[in-house]
Amino acid sequence: MSLVAFDLSGPSRLENMELVVDGASKVFGAGESAVTALTPISLAIGAGEFLSIVGPSGCGKSTLLNLIAGFETPSSGEIRLDGKTVTRPGAERGVVFQQGSLFPWMTVLDNVSFGPISRGVPKAEAREKAMQFIDLVHLSAFASRYPYELSGGMQQRVGIARALANEPRMLLMDEPFASLDQQTREILQFEIKRIWQRTKTTIFWITHSIDEALFLSTHVAVMSARPGRIKKAFASEFFASDDPMVGSTQAFTEAKREVTMVLHEESMKSSKQEEQR
Amino acid sequence: MSAVPGVKQSADGQSAKVNRRDTVIQLRSKLMSGRHVSFLSFLVMFAIWVVATTPLLGAPMVSPVFLPSPQSVVMTFLKLAQEGYQGKSLLYHYGASMFRFFSSFIGCVLLGVPIGLMMGMFRIVRAALDPPIEFTRPIPKLALLPLFVVWFGIGEFSKIFMISFTLFPIISISAMEAVKSVSLRKIQAAKSLGASDATIFWRILLPGSLPGIFTGLRVSVGLGVSMLVGAEMVATSSGVAFMALSASDFLQTNIVLVGVTILAVTGYLLDLLVRVIEKVVVHWSGRE
């Protein structure tokens, strides 16, 4: 079990991987008031990989996710999925938000079958598919409930099932567990790991928690303070551990220390930026 | 998550939820006692009315010409219900008023909601329609009634038009604000699930706008009923408001109060109806 420095944007990766961020940057506004959210970033994610992004708040993590999701277009460079340039949101990139993205006027079943039905899958078939994924997140008993009748953790499960029901190539997750309490969070971390291993979906994961990143992912990237870029990236092996207590092993603690040091430096810069504003 | 006054928002979601449920229960019990207070206040008002108009020692404190007693108002209502007013039955007058109100209200909903939604969704539509709507909104509509009579004649249309002139801006602007308030996140979620623009409109924007639209409907129900008084002020010999207005010319205060009460009760019941429908249709409202 170890953590090693890793180049996410090596030439061979940029050519061959499933998702490629190729020198993508994002500038908001123009002229004097222009704010550079992301300096040109390059990284590649291979099929079945689980990449976690950690970084100080305001570093542009979410902007990066918005670019990959197609909610925003890069100011320079491009994003490619299977060699095709991303220009708009698409069902092959499922997005799970932090909270508030479920449709409260629809039942759990209608939320989860929304994707397949939108893509033209016949209703009965879409509902059957939705039920499979509701089952996968252990919410079968709640299929006909409305989101507001569920706890925060259950709502996030619905969000995950909804994204999965389209059987996307990759899942983009923007701090999906940030608003949950620690226990619910830990349970859902195990669940997402199980789902990832079972569906082999590629995952792009944004988080504040280094523990979470190390526990779940094959790769961890630390972003710099704004303007955001990849400060350092690692390949991690802890995800493969069967030990539920892997978090308290010495190797894990050392790995955490290493990532924390990189992140801490950037967080300090970031909070200085905040003070100057 | 909306902040509830008096409740410290806790960082972890679970206990925030519990806290909020507690607050809802507290609020509900407050509303209960609030309802008692309302009932009491109603009783006090009614008692004052009874005392002021009942001949306890000789003449009543207030002359019946200014304020008739409750009994005599009820008697007048029964008499009107039997004999009608100025040759037409009370039901006919009520029907005439309701026809004007509902023609206007339904017309404004059918036209105002789609236009408001379009204004909220397309900047170009908003740019075109916002100035005329905002410009005419503060004009006292009553002042324009003579003009409408000149334009549209003394028939029903000028009356319906005047009520609509009040309701349309409320309904269309509330629909516009409602669709603008649908969270970007829900729209993005729908897009990334593969929804077309049409699907996003019918399954996200429209249902997401319903709570705001209903607020507009409730406001306009109350206003629409009270606008009947303006609409039936000239060039008509039918309607409950006409009845009240013309009776006041002859100091028939009884009839005035009957008319006013009928309108008030109607407004209250219509508001209640909209509220009941709202509760069923937008069951999720305020519970996110």
Enumerate the domain spans of chain B: 1-62, 68-281
- The closest alpha carbon to B232, from B93, B37, B127, belongs to B93
Tokens of B144: 């324009």
pLDDT at A224: 87
Whether B185 contacts chain A with CB within 8 A: yes
End-to-end CA separation in angstroms for chain B: 7
What is the CATH architecture assignment of B68-281? Orthogonal Bundle (1.10)
Chain A residues touching B185 at Cβ < 8 A:
97, 100-101
Q: How far apart are CA B255 and CA B263, in angstroms?
A: 12
Interchain proximity A91–B194, CB inside 8 Å: yes
pLDDT at A154: 94
Q: How far apart are CA B104 and CA B101, in angstroms?
A: 5
Question: Which stretches of chain A score pLDDT less than 70?
Answer: 1, 277
Interchain proximity B185–A182, CB inside 8 Å: no
This prediction has a pTM of: 0.84
pLDDT at A89: 94
Q: How far apart are CA A165 and CA A147, in angstroms?
A: 17
pLDDT at A157: 93
The DSSP secondary-structure symbol of B10 reads P
pLDDT at B286: 82
Question: Which stretches of chain B score pLDDT less than 70?
Answer: 1-32
pLDDT 10s digits, B64-111: 888 888 888 899 999 888 888 888 899 999 999 999 999 999 999 999
Chain B residues touching A170 at Cβ < 8 A:
none
Intervals of CATH 3.40.50.300 along chain A: 1-92+186-245
Whether A162 contacts chain B with CB within 8 A: yes
Whether B6 contacts chain A with CB within 8 A: no
The CATH H-level superfamily of A1-92+186-245 is: P-loop containing nucleotide triphosphate hydrolases (3.40.50.300)
- In chain B, how long is the greatest CA-to-CA distance? 81
Alpha-helical regions (H) of chain A: 11-16, 61-69, 108-118, 123-136, 152-164, 182-199, 210-216, 250-276
pLDDT at B5: 45
Interchain proximity B12–A182, CB inside 8 Å: yes
pLDDT at B1: 39
pLDDT at B283: 93
**Contact of B230 with A153, CB cutoff 8 Å:** no
- The backbone region for B6, taken as left when phi is positive above 0, alpha when psi lies in -120 to 50, beta otherwise, is left
Chain centre distance of CA A235: 16
